[in-house]
Structure 1
């Protein structure tokens, strides 16, 4: 194989593995939440499609929301206020993505309370995982 081909295939496979791991964490987390909350779904494939749809739909929404959160945080003082602003933007982003996917998928139906709990848990997970990134931006 040519060196050019190896240089393309290597990073592509690495990126696919990373994206697969992230989607896997989302999938297992949502499966666990669904078990705890007693949500019914038709099959594991419909649940996987649900998680992938949330992930894909959440990316563009999160880009816009993240930019708005960053701009809003610049004007806010205090760690608690910054956390609350970021949390509210993240929660709204997750809730919008989950709501839109839930409306279009009939194989997984969520009650309002379940949507809110899942959005809350995803936001907390993202805040914990993204805390290092936020601390690096400040430096």
Structure 2
């Protein structure tokens, strides 16, 4: 049976293989663009409401991309901290508050770090905390149920 699958791939001509690769690549680019666009316009709106100063649209774009890249790295470590923290906690409300706290702390750490490295952005500590809490709440609300602890 596995030979049959290999034969199917071997029987595809170059044009079909290229079309498949281009299609998958285009889908990946589309999804990444959508996620970056959501963060870009979401942070632009939040920055406008909080009165955050930035020099240009490009500085905001660099901020968002830096936030996403550093956020992925930091999220890995804080997910482990969250898992270890709630291992012995019972009760959904306690787990929820630990999760919000860990997510807000990781978001604030990323916001603070990116803000410190970018001279074209001016974020106050108040704005950083508000944005970190808002992003933490949105992460918890829109996250899968696989991280929620069962009682």
Q: Provide TM-score, normalisation by structure 1.
A: 0.89
Aligned to 2:73: 60
Aligned to 2:142: 129
Alignment size in residue pairs: 137
Which of 127, 142, 148 in structure 2 is aligned with 1:114?
A: 127
The residue correspondences of 1:1-139 to structure 2 (distance < 5 A) are: 1-135=14-148
Runs of 4+ in structure 1 over 4 Å off: none
Q: Secondary structure in 2 aligned to 1:75? A: coil
Distance 1:63 1:29, change over 3 A: same
Q: Provide TM-score, normalisation by structure 2.
A: 0.83
Aligned-residue offset at 1:89 = 1.1
Distance 1:116 1:81, change over 3 A: same
More helix by share: 1
Gaps of 5+ in 2: 1-13
Aligned-residue offset at 1:14 = 1.4
